[in-house]
Amino acid sequence: MPQLRAVPLTVFLLVTSLLAAASLSSDTLFLSCSGAADNFTSPSPYASNLLSLISALISTTPETPNLFSSRITAGPSQAFGLAQCRPDASPAVCSACLANAAAAALNTSCPGNKSASVRNVYCVLRYADHAIASVLEYPSFSSVFSPENASNPALFGQQLGSMLSGILPVASSSPLRIAGGVNGVDAGMNYTVYGLAWCTADLSPENCYQCLDHALMSYTGCCDFSLGGGSITISCIVSYNILPFFNASLIQNASAISPPPTQFKTAIVRRSGQRKRIILAVSISAAVVSALILIYIIFFICRKKQAARKISKLTAEEKMSATDSHLLPFSSLKSATNNFSVENKLREGRFGPVYEGVLSDGQRVLVKRLPRASGQGLVDLKNEAALVSQLQHRNLVKLLGCCVQDDETLLVYEYLPNASLDKHLYDPARRAKLDWETRHLIIEGIARGLVYLHNHSRLRIIHRDLNCTNILLDAEMNPKISDFGHAKLVGIDESQWDTKQIAGTSGYMAPEYALRGLFSTKSDVFSYGMVVLEIITGRRNGSFTNLQTYVWQNWSQEKAERVIDEGLDGEYRVEQVLMCIKIGLLCVQAEPEERPSMATVVLMLSSDAEMLPAPSRPAYFTDGSLPISSSSELSDNYVVGSMDMTRPR
């Protein structure tokens, strides 16, 4: 349960770092100590090592570009620590912040404790008698909020959550694990809201995103009606206010996601009497570097071939092992669906029918049943089970269990009462009830789900068949990506992958995929762009003309408002709809390298349309051309395979 504290607004603006001033370096936002069993005395070997450690952290961290980690060894009493300052903190502010954090832990809050974590406004300081680098920790979240509330709390909270959700994937993908955002919020009054998401730089992108996501959920569940606040724990912080509280240009430079994350510096300090040595780096000659690179390339190629052979040997049963703990008896599912009756059948999917059912405990579920002896379909369905069972995100459909018995294979999913997106878009009566706020919520949710698939799994997951039929909607119309039968696992460092069959839906496949069998995360981006254009226009691609051609022609003639669905009756913010049209066109550009990543798309959705680049002419499925000459020109990670297109269901 988050710890809540309401404080006067003037004090709150200081305590939550909402004023960028050096005097704030002493404000403690979060402090955690170890249990009494870990107490140590002073003087002692550990106390001596700890003081040397903190001295090294305070003196070295202000001069490092990211995070400084240190370990001190002297006999059996090792001390481990790490420290990091915000990119917009000067060296002087950084030093003062770390010194105050150390004083708060050692002298005030955690005297004698072997482990402590302190998060101040501009810095983080951690120490322990065990290794702590790259370890995700969020035992609890402390929520700080302003007593001043928005005039329209519900709308403010909704738009605030959308804005903060947009910066989470950017922060977790950036080298320093930090990102800021600024966005207008229309909730009775026109607010300008500043948001910041920050993890310690030693965390992996996956762990950083997990921490930030939990922090945001913890806060939005209690306090998102306030005009300022934050959710704080050991490993991360998410905060916001209607006043600027960080240097936007310095934070923006630090959150650039194009360079790979840099390895944080590590110092090993050994004590010999009163002498201390800090080893910060090792100089390696150019010849040695070249040799190491050559060895790495050879090792990389061998590992790639070995991994490909290993994966090819996996049987469908082995892939299902991840879901063994959720196996359900066939008799239960047969009873739940009234013996798979016609009345319970919702639709006919590519791999078989989907039924609505009610389990014995009263829980409503969706049951996907694979037709008997369907060969490749069996492999695809079991691939889907193995994948989805390991995915956890609010915008991905949740797998509850499965059943494999004789020649029967079934998957059991959470029940989503509003069916699929296409049922609403392509039905005039339902589409009329689909207001712009709901459509925008769906556009954002799909983007966040794809960011998780592309960036926050151990292996990069490419969906390969994103379309309106595969977007399911819950009771609140939140979108959930489904149908992972054709999804592909691609190693983050892999440049190519061989596949025997390409499967996708005509009208949603990127040209390099449809015409040459090359796919990457940018293929999913193209499919997402097509879905966005369908949501905005209310038109099915191919129902009257090539949709991206229709939108592009009106956009280039500065008549983009003509493509907006008339069923919206003008009840929308024109600039927001035009921004989404622009994002859709950016996603369906002909050149894969010109399309934004999904993490960038999420950030764009919280930006001003004027800040976005101008889209180039979109790709056409109808002209038969592919504006790239060879696979070597593709800058993303591509997979090569043969073609097997299908049409929308």
Q: Name the segment(s) of the chain with CATH classification 3.30.200.20.
A: 316-414
**Average pLDDT of 122-148?**
85
CATH classification number, 421-646, choose in 1.10.510.10, 3.40.50.720, 3.40.50.2300, 3.30.465.10? 1.10.510.10
Please give the CATH architecture assigned to the domain spanning 316-414: 2-Layer Sandwich (3.30)
The answer to whether residue 212 scores a pLDDT higher than 90 is yes
Q: Name the segment(s) of the chain with CATH classification 3.30.430.20.
A: 144-261
Q: Could you count the other beta carbons within 10 Å of the beta carbon of residue 280?
A: 12
Residue 249: both structure tokens together: 């240009």
pLDDT at 283: 30
pLDDT at 458: 55
The residue ranking higher by pLDDT, 365 or 599, is 365
What does the alpha-carbon distance between residue 20 and residue 532 come to, in Å, rounded to a whole number?
38
Cα 132 to its chain centre, rounded Å, is: 24
Q: Poorest-confidence range of 103-107, 234-238, 383-387, 557-561?
A: 383-387
Instruction: Grade residue 123 by pLDDT with cuts at 50, 70 and 90.
Output: very high
Cβ 153 vs Cβ 225: under 8 Å: yes
The residue ranking higher by pLDDT, 558 or 287, is 558
The answer to whether residue 46 scores a pLDDT higher than 60 is yes
The answer to whether residue 361 scores a pLDDT higher than 50 is yes
The answer to whether residue 260 scores a pLDDT higher than 50 is no
- Integer CA distances (angstroms), 588 to 10, 58, 237, 265, 564, in order: 48, 49, 35, 41, 18
Q: Poorest-confidence range of 15-24, 298-307, 480-489?
A: 15-24
Q: Based on the number of CB atoms within 10 Å of its own CB, is 525 exposed (0-12), middle (13-18) or buried (19 or more)? A: buried
Question: Which of 548, 528, 547 lies closest to 618 in space, CA to CA?
Answer: 548
pLDDT at 480: 96
The residue ranking higher by pLDDT, 382 or 135, is 135
Residue 397 DSSP label: P
pLDDT at 60: 83
Helices (H), 329-435: 330-336, 376-388, 421-425, 428-431
pLDDT at 35: 57
Best-predicted range by mean pLDDT (15-19, 453-457, 465-469): 465-469
Best-predicted range by mean pLDDT (73-77, 257-261, 333-337, 613-617): 333-337
Predicted TM-score of the model (pTM)? 0.54
The answer to whether residue 47 scores a pLDDT higher than 60 is yes
The answer to whether residue 255 scores a pLDDT higher than 50 is yes
Q: Name the segment(s) of the chain with CATH classification 1.10.510.10.
A: 421-646
Q: Tell me the backbone φ, ψ of residue 211, rounded to 5 degrees.
A: -65, -50
Q: Tell me the backbone φ, ψ of residue 449, rounded to 5 degrees.
A: -65, -40
pLDDT at 615: 93
Residue 106 DSSP label: I
Which residue(s) pair with 237 in the sheet? 198, 232
The answer to whether residue 389 scores a pLDDT higher than 60 is yes
Question: Which of 554, 567, 451 lies closest to 206 in space, CA to CA?
Answer: 451
For all residues of the chain together, what is the average pLDDT? 75
Residue 14: both structure tokens together: 């200081």
Please give the CATH architecture assigned to the domain spanning 144-261: 2-Layer Sandwich (3.30)
Q: Poorest-confidence range of 13-17, 137-141, 248-252?
A: 13-17
pLDDT at 186: 65
Beta strands, E only, 78-186: 79-85, 116-120, 123-128, 142-145, 178-186
The answer to whether residue 500 scores a pLDDT higher than 60 is no
Q: Based on the number of CB atoms within 10 Å of its own CB, is 79 exposed (0-12), middle (13-18) or buried (19 or more)? A: buried
The residue ranking higher by pLDDT, 453 or 515, is 453
Q: Could you count the other beta carbons within 10 Å of the beta carbon of residue 600?
A: 22
pLDDT at 284: 31
**Average pLDDT of 499-523?**
78
The answer to whether residue 211 scores a pLDDT higher than 70 is yes
What does the alpha-carbon distance between residue 84 and residue 94 come to, in Å, rounded to a whole number?
8
Residue positions counted in the chain: 649
**Average pLDDT of 529-546?**
87
Q: Could you count the other beta carbons within 10 Å of the beta carbon of residue 159?
A: 23
Spatial CB neighbours of 174, under 8 Å, sequence gap ≥ 6 = 254, 255, 256, 257, 261
Pick the catalytic residue from 202, 465, 483, 565: 465
380 is catalytic: no
**Average pLDDT of 208-213?**
93
- pLDDT tens string 3-45: 443 333 333 333 333 233 334 445 788 888 875 545 787 778 8
The residue ranking higher by pLDDT, 635 or 373, is 373
pLDDT at 401: 84
Q: Tell me the backbone φ, ψ of residue 331, rounded to 5 degrees.
A: -60, -35
Residue 154: both structure tokens together: 């519900």
**Average pLDDT of 219-241?**
85
Cβ 621 vs Cβ 549: under 8 Å: no
pLDDT at 372: 61
Residue 15: both structure tokens together: 């305590």
The answer to whether residue 232 scores a pLDDT higher than 50 is yes
**Average pLDDT of 219-237?**
84
Cβ 180 vs Cβ 194: under 8 Å: yes
pLDDT at 575: 92
The answer to whether residue 568 scores a pLDDT higher than 90 is yes
**Average pLDDT of 423-446?**
93
**Average pLDDT of 203-232?**
86
Percent of the residues in the chain that have a pLDDT greater than 70, as a whole number: 70
Sheet bearing 364-369, strands edge to edge: 345-349, 352-358, 364-369, 408-414, 399-405
Concatenated DSSP letters of 221-248 = TT-TTBSEEEEE-SSEEEEEESS--S-H
**Average pLDDT of 140-151?**
80
**Average pLDDT of 123-134?**
91
Instruction: Grade residue 311 by pLDDT with cuts at 50, 70 and 90.
Output: very low
Question: Which of 465, 435, 443 lies closest to 395 in space, CA to CA?
Answer: 443
